[in-house]
Amino acid sequence: MSELASSRSYFNTRVLTLIAAAIVINIVGGQINDALRLPIFLDSFGTVLVGVLAGPIAGGVAGLLTNLIWGLLTNPVAAAFAPVALVIGVATGLLARAGWFRTIWQAALSGVILAAVLTLVAVPIQIYLFGGVTGAGSDFAVAYFSQLGGTLVSSVALTVFGSNVADKVITAVVIFLIVKGLPERLSTGFPYLRYTRG
């Protein structure tokens, strides 16, 4: 309970500014993905950054708001996956709190963990709201696994996990490098840095 109360106090001006910037970063990355039909998503760099710097609650808020705003502006599908974005932010903050962003290898493994966790949330949404396909570049993989004899659930799960492993490992490693390179004047005011740099 004390950790939760402490986390709530972390919403200082710098963290709120970071969340706003993260939302823009996420949406721009997602729009690039939509335009190029990439098999990865590029829409959670900001969320992971907030989770590493400011913890699970701030990370969850950044992810949730990203998808809700993005859904209202241009992409209704994004709004449906707001719970997934929330989970990414929360899980990132918890991994950072556990010290899993102290080395590049830990960051890469954190990306794999994020992919596994979000798969549990994303698969039911993708199946029950969209019939397994959402118009993303990874939809061909769902069809491929289905043609091989997989069930809809297994085909979607393999596709979601597979595409997100690449995406989240890249995201986590890039954010690790950014955080490690932050100068002192830019890193003050972010409470979770002590777990990453400790």
5: pLDDT confidence band, cut at 50, 70 and 90?
very low
Q: Find, among 37, 36, 119, the residue nearest to 84 by Cα.
A: 119
CA dist., res. 190 & res. 198, Å (int): 13
pLDDT of 92 > 50? The answer is yes
Helix (H, G, I), strand (E, B) or coil at 138: coil
CB 155 within 8 A of CB 97: no
Determine which of 45-54, 55-64, 122-131, 184-193 has the lowest per-residue pLDDT on average: 184-193
106: pLDDT confidence band, cut at 50, 70 and 90?
very high
User: Number of H helices and number of E strands within the chain?
Assistant: 11, 0
CA dist., res. 96 & res. 8, Å (int): 17
10: pLDDT confidence band, cut at 50, 70 and 90?
low
| Residue 175, token pair as written in the block | 């954010």
Q: Other CB atoms closer than 10 Å to residue 13's CB: what's the count? A: 8
173: pLDDT confidence band, cut at 50, 70 and 90?
very high
pLDDT at 3: 47
Q: What are the structural domains, with CATH classification, of the chain?
A: 2-193 (1.10.1760.20)
Name the residue with higher pLDDT: 20 or 144.
Answer: 20
What is the per-residue DSSP string for 43-70? --HHHHHHHHHH-HHHHHHHHHHHHHHH
